[in-house]
Amino acid sequence: MTGEELSKKIKSGEFFHEEDFSGMDCKGLDLSGGVFSEVCFDNCDFTGAKLKEAIFNNCSIKNAIFFQANLNETNFIKCNLEKAGFKGISYEFIKFIGSEMVQADFSNSKFEGMCVFSDANLDGASFINSNLATTVFNSCKMQNVNFSEAVLYKAVFYECEFENNNFLKTSIHLSGFFNAIFEETNFSDMDLTQVQFYNSKLNNCDFSGAKLKQSGFIQSSLKGSKFDNAYLEYANFYEAKLSEASFINAYMKMATMQKSQLLKTNFTSANLYQAQMEEVAAENSIFEGADLTYADLSHASIKNSNFSNANMFMANMHEADDENTVWRGSNKTLARGTDQDRLKSEQWGKQ
């Protein structure tokens, strides 16, 4: 069967099941609304083809070319799209569900109108210089994916696995990563303003010099991660695991860290003006030369920590445990101690 014959049969309402169309030339053809189940399209050329609202179910489409094809509202369900080429396409409402997409190429493409990748294997895929506005990735494998120079605006990632990803010159704004897995990822010097990482694993990641104003890391694990010289004004680390992380010279004005784990964490010369640090566990940590003016350390555990030369002006030390803590050169005397009226209220509330 030729591509032209296939187009005519689709227009007559015919469905296709267990066919082999591998190597078919479909350039510029109208295949809109086609329904294909367990069909082989390996090595097919769909350049410039119209595939709007087409459905591919359990199809093999390896090494196929979709350059400048119309794939609006197209559905790929449980398909094998290994090394398929989707370069230079504008998509609207396209869906890839449960599909193998290893090394697929989406570079220079534009995604609009809630495009969805769900339960897809995107290992080694390329989104170089692509616009992924409002795109949703759900339970996807994303090792070695290249996002360099891509724009992620209001993109959402649920329970995705990342590893060895390239975010060089990537723009990420108002996007969310939920229950995501990042290990040893390099985010240094990136603009991640208002990006949210919720309950995600970000151990040993590098955020050095990154812009993270109003970013969120609620209940995320960031053990051993680096935030040296990062801009973290209003950042939210509520209940985050930050043990052995480094915030040397970080700007953390009014950052939130309530109930966070800060064991052996380094805040040397960090700006923690008005930081909210109630009930943090910060034993054996370093705050040498840090500015904690008006910071709230109520009920914090800061045992065996180093606050040498720290600015503690009006810091709230209500019921803070500072056993064996070093205060050499600091102005701890200017901090506020335990508020007896508040303490009585707290004790009464526990009865």
Whether 2 is in a domain gets the answer yes
At 1, the pLDDT band (50, 70, 90 cuts) reads: confident
Give how many domains the chain has, as a whole number. 1
Whether 12 is in a domain gets the answer yes
Residue 350 pLDDT more than 80? Answer: no
Q: Which range among 96-110, 265-279, 310-324, 334-348 shows the weakest confidence by mean pLDDT?
A: 334-348
Q: pLDDT by residue (tens digit) across 150-173? A: 999 999 999 999 999 999 999 999
Q: Are 307 and 325 in contact (CB under 8 A)?
A: yes
Q: What would the mean pLDDT of 127-135 be, rounded to a whole number?
A: 96
Whether 184 is in a domain gets the answer no
Q: Are 113 and 94 in contact (CB under 8 A)?
A: no
Give me the residue label for tokens 């697929």: 104
At 188, the pLDDT band (50, 70, 90 cuts) reads: very high
At 200, the pLDDT band (50, 70, 90 cuts) reads: very high
Q: pLDDT by residue (tens digit) across 42-55? A: 999 999 999 999 99
For position 19, which CATH number holds?
2.160.20.80
At 270, the pLDDT band (50, 70, 90 cuts) reads: very high
Q: Are 86 and 109 in contact (CB under 8 A)?
A: yes
Q: What pLDDT is stored for residue 46 in this prediction?
A: 97
- pTM of this structure: 0.90
Please spell the DSSP secondary structure of 292-309, one letter per residue: -TT-B-TT-B-TT-B-TT
* Domain range enclosing 26: 1-80
Say which residue, 311 or 348, is predicted with more confidence: 311
Rounded Cα–Cα distance for residues 202 and 215 (Å): 14
Whether 47 is in a domain gets the answer yes
Whether 225 is in a domain gets the answer no
Q: Nearest CA to 318 among 351, 290, 344?
A: 344
